[in-house]
Amino acid sequence: MSDRPFAGRRFYFVGIGGAGLSAYANFARAWGAEVRGWDLRETIFLEALDGIEVDVGGEPLPPHGFEVIVSTAHTDRVEGRPRAEFLAELVARRRSIVVGGAHGKTTTAAMIAYVLRELGLDPAWIVGGVVPQLGGNAGVGEGWLVVEGDESDRSIGLLEPEIAVVTNVELDHHGSYASEAELAAYFDEWLARAPSAVRGWELEPADGSLSIPGEHNRRNAAAVLAALELAGVARAEAERALAGFTGVARRFELVGERGGVRVLDDYGHNPTEIAATLATARELQPRTLIAVYQPHVFERTRQLYRELGAALGLADGAIVTDVIGGRDAPRPGVTGKLVLDYVPAPTRRGWAPGLDDAAKLALAWARPGDAIVTLGVGEPWRIAREIVEGLPA
C-alpha cells in the first residue's frame, strides 16, 4: 500500500475538535490529504492539530472541492459523510485491531499501540485521547492499525477488524439502546463477525508490573495482552513493554500540584468510571478528596442522576456544574442539580453552574494535603487548569 493513499484528496472535518475527528484529521493528513476543519469552540484536542487550519465558532463553511466529514454531534449543521463511514474506510485498508466497550477502550487501544511500537512493529493508531508517549491521538505506521471504536451511535458495527476487542458491557448511551441486554446483543453480533475476538469480562486482571494505578487498568491490561497474543506478540514480550506505559491525557492525569494540593483530571463521566477514579484517588491518601463533575448529555443525566450522585459520594466533597450540551437537546428539569441532590451525606455538596464557578468553589474549599479530581467528558480540564493557576505557590 502507498504510504500516502489519500494524496490528492481534501477533507473538511466538522467537529474537528472532538476526540474522534481530531484523530481522523491527523491520520488523513499523514496519509497525504489536505485537511481543514471546524468546531463550535476551543477544545483540548485542537492542541494536537498544529498546522491544520481550523474555523472556531459560527457555522461550518466547507470550502469548495473538499469532502465533508461530519461528527455525530453536528449532523444538523451541514451535509456530509458520517464520520463512521470515514473510519470504516480506514479500517478496511489495513489489518486492524478495534477496541470497544463501556469503559477503558481509550486506554486499552492506546496500550496496544504503545506495545506494538515499543516492540518495533510500526503500528498505526487512532484513539480518543492524547497519548503523550505516542505523540498524540493518531499515528501512521505500516503495521497493525489500532482503532478505538464507538458504540454510542452504533458506528462500531460498521468496522470489520481482524481482531475485535470489547472491554466490558454496561449501558451508558440510553438514546441508542433500550437496555443493557440490547447493547450486549449488539456487541455479541459484532464480535461474532471478527476472525478473532477478545471479551474482557472473561479474563482475570493482569498481575504484571504496570505504571498506571487502579484495578480497572489491570482489567484493561488483560484485554491488551489477549489481543496482542492474537496479533502474534509473545505474552512475555508484551508484558515487559506494557510496564512502561504511563497513560493517556485526561485519564487520571496529574495537572499540577501547588500549595500542597494535587489536582488531577479524568474523563470518567458515568457512575462506574467516576467510582473507579475516586477509588484510585483514595490510594493517594489525601487529607480531603474533592470531586468536581461536569455532567454530559441530558439523557444520560436524566437516566443516571441517582447513580451519578452516589458515585460522587465516594469523595469528601462534591462540586457539580450544569450539564454541557451538544449531543442532545436540553430536557425540562434536567440540570446538574439533579445529580448534586443525590450526593449522599456526609459528603459536602457544592453547586457551581459554570466552569469558573466550579474552579472558584474548589479553590475556596482546598487546603494543603487535599486532592482535587475534575471529572467529565466536556471541559473539566479547563476547571483543573484554572484551579492549579489559582492555588498559592
CB 70 within 8 A of CB 78: yes
Which pLDDT score is estimated for 68? 98
CB 357 within 8 A of CB 337: no
Please indicate whether residue 331 or residue 387 has the higher confidence score (pLDDT).
387
From 326, 390, 365, 388, select the one nearest 75 (Cα to Cα).
326
Please indicate whether residue 121 or residue 272 has the higher confidence score (pLDDT).
121
Q: What are the CA-CA distances from residue 350 to residues 147, 192, 197 (Å)?
A: 38, 47, 44
C-alpha to C-alpha distance for 92 and 160, rounded to whole angstroms: 7
C-alpha to C-alpha distance for 81 and 104, rounded to whole angstroms: 28
Q: What is the pLDDT of residues 101-119, one digit of tens each?
A: 988 999 999 999 999 999 9
Q: What is the pLDDT of residues 234-271, one digit of tens each?
A: 999 999 999 999 999 888 999 999 999 999 999 988 89
Q: What is the pLDDT of residues 311-361, one digit of tens each?
A: 999 999 999 999 986 667 888 989 999 999 999 999 999 999 999 999 999
173: pLDDT strictly greater than 80: no
Which whole number is the average pLDDT over 156-160? Answer: 95
Q: How far is CA 110 from the centre of its chain?
A: 11
Which pLDDT score is estimated for 221? 98
2: pLDDT strictly greater than 70: no
Residue 223 phi/psi, 5-degree rounding, is -65, -35
From 284, 292, 334, select the one nearest 312 (Cα to Cα).
292
Which pLDDT score is estimated for 278? 96
Q: Reply yes or no: is the peptide bond before residue 286 cis, omega within 30 of 0.
A: no
91: pLDDT strictly greater than 80: yes
Torsion of the alpha carbons at 60, 61, 62 and 63, rounded to the nearest 10 = -150
Q: What are the CA-CA distances from residue 190 to residues 100, 159, 186, 302 (Å)?
A: 10, 9, 6, 29
C-alpha to C-alpha distance for 267 and 158, rounded to whole angstroms: 25
Which whole number is the average pLDDT over 216-237? Answer: 97
C-alpha to C-alpha distance for 17 and 66, rounded to whole angstroms: 18
**Position 304 confidence tier, pLDDT thresholds 50, 70, 90:** very high
Q: What are the CA-CA distances from residue 177 to residues 85, 104, 173, 181 (Å)?
A: 21, 20, 6, 9
Which pLDDT score is estimated for 124? 94
Domain locations in the chain as residue ranges: 10-87, 94-242, 253-390
What type of residue is 226? A
C-alpha to C-alpha distance for 200 and 379, rounded to whole angstroms: 29
Q: Which CATH number is associated with domain 94-242?
A: 3.40.1190.10
1: pLDDT strictly greater than 60: no
What type of residue is 256? G
Average pLDDT, the chain: 93
C-alpha to C-alpha distance for 4 and 390, rounded to whole angstroms: 46
Percent of the chain with pLDDT over 90: 77
Percent of the chain with pLDDT over 70: 98
4: pLDDT strictly greater than 90: no
Q: How far is CA 2 from the centre of its chain?
A: 30
Q: What is the pLDDT of residues 6-49, one digit of tens each?
A: 999 999 999 999 988 998 999 899 899 999 999 999 888 898 89
Total residue length of the chain? 393
294: pLDDT strictly greater than 90: yes
Q: Which CATH number is associated with domain 253-390?
A: 3.90.190.20
Which pLDDT score is estimated for 12? 98
C-alpha to C-alpha distance for 280 and 388, rounded to whole angstroms: 20
Q: What is the pLDDT of residues 59-69, one digit of tens each?
A: 999 999 999 99
Beta strands in 103-226 (DSSP E): 124-131, 136-139, 145-148, 163-166, 196-199
C-alpha to C-alpha distance for 103 and 99, rounded to whole angstroms: 11
Out of 3.40.1280.10, 3.30.450.70, 3.40.50.720, 3.30.390.10, which CATH number does the structure's domain 10-87 have?
3.40.50.720
Please indicate whether residue 213 or residue 191 has the higher confidence score (pLDDT).
191
Torsion of the alpha carbons at 81, 87, 93 and 99, rounded to the nearest 10 = -160
